[in-house]
Structure 1
Amino acid sequence: MQKRLNVKGCSQYSTDVKEQYRPSACGPTTAYVMMNYLFGEQAVNKSINDFYDMLGGTKIGLFTWRFKRNMRRYLGPGWLVDNCTVEQAMAEIDAGRLVAVKFDKYFSLRFFTPALFAYHWVPLIGYDATNELTLFIHDNGGRNRESRVRSFQYKKEKNVLTFIRITPLQHT
C-alpha cells in the first residue's frame, strides 16, 4: 500500500524567515507547512517567524514538549496534538493529515547512529508499505537549496524518530 499527499513545502532558509531564525527554524517551518495544508494559507495568516515566536523556538531548535504544548494552545481544545506510533502516523496520512517528524540523535542518546538528519523537524507527507516501509517527507530546505521531497527506510531511522500527530477530536 502506498499513499502520498500533495504538499507545498517551504524552506526554513527562505528570505521571508528572519536570518537569525533560519538555522533553527525547522520546527516552526514544519508547523507552518502543516497548518497551511490543513487550513489553507489565507486561513492561517501566520508566517514562519510567527510560528517561531509562538512555539518558542530557540537557537538549538524546538523541543518536542514545546511544539506539542504551544500547538495545543494555538489550535484549542478541539484538537489532539501528541506523540504517535508510525502506524498511527500512517493512519493520519490515510486520513489526509500531515504528521510532524523529529529526527533527534542527541536526546534519543543515539550519538553514533548514522541518520538522515542529526536533529531536524520535517512534515511526513506519505509512505510506501509495499515491501519495506518507506516514509516520504519534505525536508524544509537548506542554506543553498529549496525544500524537496525525500524518502527513507523507516527501519534505518526508527531509533531517532518522534512522530507528532495533529488530529481533530470527534465530538458526539
Structure 2
Amino acid sequence: MKTQLHVQGISQYDSSIHANFQASACGPVTAFVLLNYLLPNANPFQPNDLYRKLGGTRIGLFTYRFIRNMRKILGPNWQIEKCSLHTALQELKNGRPVALKFDKYFSLQWNKKSTFAYHWVPLIGYEIEDDELVLVIHDNGGRNRESKIRKVPYSPNASILTFIQVTPLAAL
C-alpha cells in the first residue's frame, strides 16, 4: 500500500529566503509548502513572512508556536493541532499533507539515533515496505540543494516525531 501526494517542496536555503533565517527556516518552509498545497494560487504568505508570523527563532520553531500562530493566520475555519500517527495517515489518505517535526532535543532523547536531530518537514505520503511503515517527506533541502522527496523509516524515529494536522473545517 502506498499513498503519496504531489506536493511541490522548496529548499529552506532558497535564495528567496533571508540569509539570517535559512538555517532555522525549516518550520516556516514546511508551513509554506502546506499552505501552497492547501490553498493553491491563494497562499498570501512567503517563507520570510511565515518565519516572522509563526515566531521562528535561531534555534527553530517550537511546536506550540507553530500551532498557535497558524491558528491566528488561518482563522477559525481550520483545525490545527497535534495529531496521532493514525490521524496523520488519514489526513494523507484524504489528500492533505501534514507538518512533521523530528525533535530529539526537546523530547529529551539526545542519544537517540534518528534521521534528523531537529527538523520540520512536510509529510506527503507513506508506504508499507517489508511490513514496516515508511514515511515519505520533502526534506526542505540543504545548502546548494533543492528539496527532495525522501523515505524515512517510522520505527527508529517514532519516539521523536510530532505530527501537526492543518485541516480545513469547511470546503475551500
Give the TM-score normalised by the residue count of structure 1. 0.96
Q: 2:53 and 2:144 mapped to 1: Cα distance?
A: 26
Partner of 1:68: 67
The letter of the residue matching 1:5 is L
The letter of the residue matching 1:9 is G
Q: Report SS of the residue matched to 1:133.
A: strand
Partner of 1:87: 86
**Alpha-carbon shift at residue 71 of structure 1 (Å):** 0.3
Partner of 2:32: 32
Runs of at least 4 residues off by over 2 Å: none
Deviations 1:70-111 (Å, cap 9, x if unpaired)?
A: 000111111110011111100000000010000001000110
Partner of 2:76: 77
Structure 2: state its 5+ residue gaps: none
Deviations 1:44-66 (Å, cap 9, x if unpaired)?
A: 12210001011010000000000
Partner of 2:3: 3
Partner of 1:102: 101
Q: 1:89 and 1:95 mapped to 2: Cα distance?
A: 10
Q: 2:105 and 2:98 mapped to 1: Cα distance?
A: 21
Structure 1: state its 5+ residue gaps: none
Q: Report SS of the residue matched to 2:113.
A: coil
The letter of the residue matching 2:70 is M
Partner of 1:20: 20
The letter of the residue matching 1:169 is L
- In structure 2, relative to structure 1, the CA distance for the partners of 1:146 and 1:66 (3 Å cut) is same
Q: 2:105 and 2:45 mapped to 1: Cα distance?
A: 30
Partner of 1:123: 122
Partner of 1:52: 51
CA RMSD, Structure 1 to Structure 2 (Å): 1.2
Q: 2:156 and 2:66 mapped to 1: Cα distance?
A: 25
Matched, 1:169 2:158: no
The letter of the residue matching 1:99 is V
Q: Report SS of the residue matched to 1:43.
A: coil
Partner of 1:144: 144
**Alpha-carbon shift at residue 170 of structure 1 (Å):** 5.3
The letter of the residue matching 2:102 is F
- Percent identical pairs in the alignment equals 53
Q: 1:168 and 1:152 mapped to 2: Cα distance?
A: 27
Q: Report SS of the residue matched to 2:71.
A: helix
The letter of the residue matching 2:94 is A
Give the TM-score normalised by the residue count of structure 2. 0.96
**Alpha-carbon shift at residue 129 of structure 1 (Å):** 2.9
Q: How many residues align?
A: 170
The letter of the residue matching 1:50 is D
Deviations 1:2-53 (Å, cap 9, x if unpaired)?
A: 100011000000000000000000000000000000011x311221000101
